[in-house]
Structure 1
Amino acid sequence: MERYRVVRLEEQMYGCEELPEGAEVCCDVTVEAADGTRKTLSYPDAELTRQGIDEGDTVLWDGTALRKA
């Protein structure tokens, strides 16, 4: 698992299009590694809220799932 710091959380904009039925609302999560490398992940808003993940938090990323460290 890689360790990152959450730099920015931003709800994805869907414009005038509605989400398909059953689709989850997602956020763009920008994370930064210790070496300064950044990446932006698309992640379900409900899961971020459930774990209490917010900007400034340290998270672990295994390639598929985020977990608050």
Structure 2
Amino acid sequence: MIPVTRLNGSPLWLNALQIETVEEMPDTYVTLVNGKRMIVLEKAADVVKLMTEYYAAIGLHTASVKVQNTGEEE
């Protein structure tokens, strides 16, 4: 869960795994995978940073492995 702030100043904890998009126009809109959309006071970059830190804390970043070269060496 990541902490964000609603427009009225009240705190809100969002499940970072349920966030589909984060947009800034100029308010920051967070859209969840279920389609629910909310406006938060944080900047989009801050929300993305919180998400990235959360993913690292739960080990999600190590769950995906990128293969750079799948061909055989000549």
Structure-2-length-normalised TM-score: 0.35
Q: Which has the higher contact order (CA 8 A, sep 6+)?
A: 1
> Please, what TM-score do these two structures have when normalized by structure 1?
0.37
The structure with more radius of gyration: 2
- Higher helix content, 1 or 2: 2
Higher strand share: 1
